[in-house]
């Protein structure tokens, strides 16, 4: 089996590449533009005979065509992924998330190659804090940010290419991932690396916003289950019943670091900040037999803190630039 993994040098893509190398005999080709969000170091310890890394853009039609022609399946992780950046400059989001997905779809259509599209629960918009309902495969799309609206558009392109052109494709929409190799711009790694540096965590607004956390290893296993058993044209929601408000996550991290529970700073809220995400993943569990392996969020956070403590050489080069970007975004708000 030969897989083409787009965005394989980013957070979730790299974790999935590690999963493939460890659990299958497949050959993996990574296509990644190596934006600021990528890290070659995330793939550095993988065996060269199992992995080919190609530096390139998913919008490059010729390159995408030649790589797609020689693989059995494309798993599409590549995207501009950070909401805060999409509020500052939406243009790379429109290009990579929409034009990039279109370019890949045309290539898999030409070469009759299986496609899996990795997407987000943010396409559904948000839920009220006092609402107990969760997103299902039937929830209407209602994205809030430039990031989530481009992901919603890319999902719709995939569905149209299945229906209109007979492309063999599945889709998944997952909740917030945490774990190793996540860029320090994201909430959990930002606060962990702040705490390592003796800087208080930064909480947007009230901190009551809820995210539904899943360990990235469970996301990898779910994508594999969909590749092996998923039905073309179907969408699968991926989530592990991990709802936490942001304040609780910060307090858990402060406890892990032995700091007092109020050692954090409130900063200006994200414009249009989604209130709550929550996934009902019964379809994935019932039809494909997937179950999350990580059930204890505190334990998962402790492992993640340990990983960032032990891999400072991985994240340190990104940290100053990420914080400088946040300072300029805070001024703009
Ligand atoms: P990330 O930002 O860490 O990695 C994205 C990768 O895509 C980077 O390596 C980047 O260089 C690459 N990339 C960006 N534009 C490209 C282009 N034009 N051509 C080639 N490569 C390009 O993102 P992530 O958090 O790993 O997310 C991966 C996918 O999973 C995204 O599609 C995202 O929407 C989705 N997702 C993320 C989460 C989450 O919690 N992070 C949850 C659900 C779904
Ligand atoms: O739900 C899936 C989505 O999860 C993915 O599609 C996105 O690619 C991924 O980035 C993530 O989006 P969020 O916007 O939820 O993640 P982020 O890590 O940026 O923020 C998580 C929450 O923490 C959110 O409510 C904003 C808040 N936050 C974030 C940062 C960076 C803070 O309070 N302080 C911070 O410093």
Looking at the domain assignment, is residue 75 inside a domain?
yes
Looking at the domain assignment, is residue 64 inside a domain?
yes
Domain count, the chain: 1
Q: Is pLDDT at 330 greater than 90 in this prediction?
A: no
Q: Label residue 195 by pLDDT band (50, 70, 90).
A: very high
Q: What is the pLDDT of residue 56?
A: 98
* CB of 277 sitting under 6 A from ligand 2: yes
Q: Mean of the per-residue pLDDT values for the chain?
A: 97
Mean of pLDDT values over 239-248 = 98
Q: What is the pLDDT of residue 329?
A: 87
Query: How does pLDDT run across 257-271, given as a tens digit for each residue?
Result: 999 999 999 999 999
Q: Label residue 92 by pLDDT band (50, 70, 90).
A: very high
Looking at the domain assignment, is residue 259 inside a domain?
no
Looking at the domain assignment, is residue 247 inside a domain?
no
Looking at the domain assignment, is residue 191 inside a domain?
no
Looking at the domain assignment, is residue 303 inside a domain?
no
Q: Which domain holds residue 293?
A: 2-180+214-241+277-297
Structure tokens given for 312: 């400072």
Model-level pTM?
Answer: 0.98
Catalytic residue among 32, 57, 80, 121: 121
Does the active-site annotation cover 121? yes
Q: List, in sequence order, every residue forming a beta bridge with 203; answer none if it has no partner.
A: 266
Query: How does pLDDT run across 160-184, given as a tens digit for each residue?
Result: 999 999 999 999 999 999 999 999 9
* CB of 9 sitting under 6 A from ligand 1: yes
Ligand sitting nearest the alpha carbon of 199: 2
Q: What is the pLDDT of residue 41?
A: 98
The DSSP letter of residue 272 is T
Looking at the domain assignment, is residue 87 inside a domain?
yes
Cβ–Cβ under 8 Å, residues 67 and 43: no
Does the active-site annotation cover 147? yes
Residues in the chain: 333
Structure tokens given for 173: 């929409």
Q: What is the pLDDT of residue 104?
A: 99
- Quote the CA–CA distance of 306 and 329 in Å, as a whole number: 29
Mean of pLDDT values over 76-92 = 97
Q: Label residue 331 by pLDDT band (50, 70, 90).
A: confident
Pocket test for ligand 1, best of 35, 213, 318 (most atoms within 8 A of CB): 35
Looking at the domain assignment, is residue 43 inside a domain?
yes
Q: Is pLDDT at 333 greater than 90 in this prediction?
A: no
Q: What is the pLDDT of residue 54?
A: 98
The DSSP letter of residue 173 is E
Q: What is the CATH number of the domain that holds 64?
A: 3.40.50.720
């Amino acid at each position: 089996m030969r897989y083409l993994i787009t965005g394989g040098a980013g957070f979730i893509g790299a974790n999935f590449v590690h999963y493939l190398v460890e659990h299958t005999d497949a050959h993996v080709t990574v296509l990644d533009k190596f934006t600021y969000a990528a890290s070659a170091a995330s793939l550095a310890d993988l065996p060269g005979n199992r992995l080919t890394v190609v530096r390139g853009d998913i919008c490059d039609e010729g390159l995408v065509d030649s790589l797609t022609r020689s693989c059995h399946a494309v798993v599409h992780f590549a995207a501009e992924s950070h909401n805060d950046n999409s509020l500052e400059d939406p243009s790379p989001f429109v290009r990579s998330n929409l034009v990039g997905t279109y370019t890949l779809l045309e290539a898999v259509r030409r070469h009759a190659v299986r496609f899996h599209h990795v997407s987000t629960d943010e396409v559904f918009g948000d839920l009220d804090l006092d609402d107990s309902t969760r997103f299902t495969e039937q929830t209407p799309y209602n994205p809030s940010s430039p990031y989530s609206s481009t992901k919603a558009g890319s999902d719709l392109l995939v569905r149209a290419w299945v229906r209109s052109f007979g492309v063999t494709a599945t889709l998944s929409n997952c909740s917030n991932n945490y774990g190793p190799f996540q860029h320090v711009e994201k909430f959990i790694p930002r606060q962990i690396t702040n705490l390592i540096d003796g800087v208080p965590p930064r909480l947007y607004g009230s901190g009551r916003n809820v995210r539904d956390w899943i360990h990235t290893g469970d996301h990898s296993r779910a994508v594999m289950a969909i590749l092996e058993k998923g039905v073309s044209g179907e969408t699968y929601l991926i989530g592990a019943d991990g709802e936490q408000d942001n304040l609780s996550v910060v307090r858990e991290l402060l406890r892990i670091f032995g700091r007092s529970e109020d050692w954090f700073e409130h900063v200006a809220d994200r414009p249009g900040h989604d209130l709550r995400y929550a996934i009902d993943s019964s379809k994935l569990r019932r039809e494909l037999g997937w179950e999350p392996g990580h059930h204890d969020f505190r334990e998962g956070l402790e492992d993640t803190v340990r990983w960032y403590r032990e891999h400072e050489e991985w994240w340190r080069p990104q940290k100053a630039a990420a914080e400088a970007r946040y300072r300029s975004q805070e001024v703009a708000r």
